[in-house]
Structure formats: structure tokens, C-alpha cells
A = this chain, B = another copy of it.
Amino acid sequence: MADPAPQPGQDPAPQRVLDAIRRDIILGALRPGARVTEAALSTAYGVSRVPVREALRALEAEGFVESRPYAGSTVAEIPLDDAEDLFAVRGIIEATIARRAARRAATHSAGQPPGRGWWEARRTLAGVLDDGDRAVAADALADLPELNNRFHLGVASLSGSASLAALLRQISGKIEWLYAADVDSRGRHSWGEHRLILGAIDAGDEAEAERLMAGHVLSSQRGYLERFTPGPTGTDAAAR
């Protein structure tokens, strides 16, 4: 069947609201400390208060807003002081994910059938890499952060671990928040590493995949710290 109307057109609405609010927070449209009221959001997005409530609850679980009963919700503070530690944790998570993905690829090469969504994830990943290469060639650096995110989430899908993928999603959002308005930063210099990582995964080389991913995240961290911390001594460079 060609699925005459299988496309729901758009996600169920709480999802859209959730993504929209999170995007507004990450991109700075909603500043930390700002009060976010249900009524305002519901009118802004043209939905009822119930979906907004669910979205706020999810945002709270993700750490983007803080709520107190009967006291309302406010946008949380950007975790500037946690930058180094967040990068360190992300490094471990991503490296583990890469290793798991490589292991799974090796298992599949041995003849065992891959999981249900494996081929789909693998194909999506290939498309992401091609899109990224095109964006780099066209100097469309504004698209890179989004593609970068999709690449790393794609590798998480490849790893087959929902737990690790969820952790990555959470911490990745925080780090994206750190980059804030600095959109065109994670430039082309690290994009090329993606192909190497995926190559190691496809080859089933666990150690190499883990090593490459760890270095990839580390270079990202280096780029961030060089740009945002005042002094190299790194005492308390908090912009707080």
C-alpha cells in the first residue's frame, strides 16, 4: 500500500509544543529566570493548557525549567559552571555508544540479522553525512549544529541501547544550550571526523570507534572552552 493518509501531518501537539519551547529556551528567546506561564504558552501555540502542562513537565525532567507547586515555572539557569564536567560525561557516554554500535555491526556481519530499525538508522546516518558534506561545501554552516545532533543521535540508535540514547539526548541538550547563540561555531573542522567514526563502526572495530568518538568530543570541548573561558588558568571563569 502506498499509504494514502498514513502521514499524520504533524506530531501529536504536545511534542510540537515541547520541541518549540525547548528550542526557544536553547536559542535564547526565553531567557533564564523568565516566568513561563501555561496560559501564555497555550495562547502562543494555539493549543489548550493540557498539552502545555505535559510539555512543561517534560522540560522539567530535562532540566530546562524549574517548577514549584502553585508557584509557577521559570526557565532554569544555563549551567555554565558545569561545562567541563558535562563535556567529560558526554565523552564517556558517546564513546560507549560508539563502541556498542561497532560491536553490533560486527555481530551483524557475522551473519546474525540486525535489529528491526537498524537498516533504517544506518541509511538515515548516510543521508546525514551527505547533507553535512554538502552544507560544508556550500558554506551553509548554520545547518551544521542540527546535522551534528542528528549524526550523534543516529549513532545512538545504531548502538541499540535506549538507555544510553536517552542519556545522550539529555546531556546533549544541555551542551547545545551552552553554545547558545554561538550557532556557527562547531565549524567544519570536526565534521570530517564523523565519516571516520562511522567507518570504524561499520568495520566492527570497537576500540577504534570508542577512541575516535572520545577524541571527537574532546575536540568539541576544546573549541568551546577556548572560546568562552577568559583565562587559560581556568580558575573560576564562571560568567555567573
Contact = CB atoms under 8 A, between A and B. Distances in A.
Contact of A57 (B54, B69, B79, B82): B54
Contacts of A54: 53-54, 57
Interface string A52-81: 011001100111000001100000100101
Interface residues of A, number: 36
How many subunits of this chain does the assembly comprise?
A: 2
A8 B69 CA distance: 10
Interface string A1-30: 000000010011010000000000000000
A174 interface: yes
A167 interface: yes
7 contacts: A14-B57, A57-B57, A57-B58, A61-B166, A76-B162, A79-B163, A89-B92
Interface of A: 8, 11-12, 14, 50, 53-54, 57-58, 61-63, 69-70, 76, 79, 81-82, 85-86, 88-89, 92-93, 96, 100, 160-164, 166-167, 170-171, 174
